Amino acid sequence: MTDSPGDPLVYRLAPAVAARLVGLAFLVLALTTFVVTALVLNLGWAPDLIVAVLVLELLVVLGGAGWLRSRAYVVRLDAQGYSVRLVRGAGVRDGRWSEVSEALAAHPRDVPCLVLHRTDGTTTSIPVGMLAADRDDFAREIGARLQEAHGRA
């Protein structure tokens, strides 16, 4: 994905994962609209409240979808280290390459991951299915950055 391991590189969220998140947001929108409608009918509030809440929710969902598509990232790599976002249970989310002893493929909880083993005994788990990139290319990129950081390039 990059010509030089020193260049910053961002791995975005896979489209299928982003679509699931947006679908969940639309489900929440529908449920919230249902609750607001029930409250308006039962409490005699102005029906315009339903429209206002629906428009506000749509703006939030569409804004969130735009953010997921264009700005959100799962992994950011640079010459100094890495940063992991949007991954629950990733372990250490930010680190320097000098703190990583090895990168291995693993399947914690049956999820294919690239696990970065750190020199302090902690780990960073990156689910490769969340990345909008080829798994092997991602692993090669991590390997190249580790080799460069440890002087084996």
User: Domain spans of the chain?
Assistant: 15-70, 79-149
What are the pLDDT digits (tens) for 63-122? Answer: 999 999 999 999 999 999 999 999 999 999 999 999 999 999 999 999 999 999 999 999
- pLDDT bin (cut points 50, 70, 90) of residue 2 is very low
Tokens (6 digits) for 131: 């990345």
pLDDT at residue 4 tops 90: no
Q: Which overall architecture, per CATH, does domain 79-149 show? A: Beta Barrel (2.40)
Strand partners, 117: 102, 123
Helix, coil or strand: residue 89 = coil
What are the pLDDT digits (tens) for 15-61? Answer: 999 999 999 999 999 999 999 999 999 999 999 999 999 999 999 99
Helix, coil or strand: residue 150 = coil
Give the pTM: 0.84
- pLDDT bin (cut points 50, 70, 90) of residue 1 is very low
